[in-house]
Chains A and B, each alone.
Chain A
Amino acid sequence: DSGVTQTPKHLITATGQRVTLRCSPRSGDLSVYWYQQSLDQGLQFLIQYYNGEERAKGNILERFSAQQFPDLHSELNLSSLELGDSALYFCASSVESGAANTGELFFGEGSRLTVL
């Protein structure tokens, strides 16, 4: 058990809908990362937050947004869903950010999104 909690584990929805994925980082971790994993693309970095502030942005679509709350949990919002958004969405956390980060990312179990 990595200590990172993601909900829901599975989600099935229709095209055009909006969903919210939730992540609780390990106790004491200030950084949260979101990744998308699909069969043909591997792990794609979406966005990173550190202590409530956005720190880095990857290949995140404009239809997607995220935030990190004062209690350090994070939510990833996916809107106007398309079939191609079906994937595993992982949250990962680490203690620090930037140069002080030793490189240990701890992943949750993921949220499997199916868009029909």
Chain B
Amino acid sequence: QKEVEQDPGPLSVPEGAIVSLNCTYSNSAFQYFMWYRQYSRKGPELLMYTYSSGNKEDGRFTAQVDKSSKYISLFIRDSQPSDSATYLCAMRARAGNQFYFGTGTSLTVIP
């Protein structure tokens, strides 16, 4: 079993839709949770960062962490064509140096 599971998609939605991206994980020691956005042929860029459980909102983006279910989500409201990218979840434990990434979900927002 992989440490982090993420549905690869692809996901295709119309402009303006609400997008939900999800990851599950198996290691209960994970404390830091991140979402990265990767445009084609570019490096991943940090989109959202959350420590432990709870919600965090930044503009059209909301990150949720449910540690009891070992489940994290990223919601994108009023999706735009510029949101078309691959979204990777990542997480790490409080101790240790290794980040664990999901395989990424490819999202296309159709104008």
User: Which A residues are closer than 8 A to B by beta carbons?
Assistant: 2, 4, 31, 33, 41-43, 45, 48, 50, 55-56, 58, 90, 92, 97-99, 101-110, 112
Looking at B11-19, B43-51, B62-70, B74-82, the stretch in contact with chain A turns out to be B43-51
B96 contacts which of A33, A42, A98 (Cβ < 8 Å)?
A98
Find out whether the CB atom of B103 lies under 8 angstroms from the CB atom of A105. Answer: no
Find out whether the CB atom of A98 lies under 8 angstroms from the CB atom of B102. Answer: no
With both chains docked as a complex, state the minimum distance between the C-beta of B64 and any C-beta of chain A, in angstroms.
Answer: 16
Q: Which residue of chain A is the closest to B44 with respect to CB atoms?
A: A107
Q: Which residue of chain A is the closest to B4 with respect to CB atoms?
A: A42
B60 at the interface (CB under 8 A from A): no
5 inter-chain pairs at a CB distance below 8 angstroms, sorted by A residue, are A45-B101, A58-B98, A98-B97, A99-B94, A103-B32
With both chains docked as a complex, state the minimum distance between the C-beta of B4 and any C-beta of chain A, in angstroms.
Answer: 9
Find out whether the CB atom of B104 lies under 8 angstroms from the CB atom of A90. Answer: no
Q: A103-B49, A104-B49, A107-B45 are in contact. Are A97 and B88 (CB under 8 A)?
A: no
A58 to B36: give the CA distance in the assembly, Å. 20
Find out whether the CB atom of B44 lies under 8 angstroms from the CB atom of A90. Answer: yes
Q: Given the complex, which residues of B lie within 8 Å of A107, measured CB to CB? A: 36, 43-45
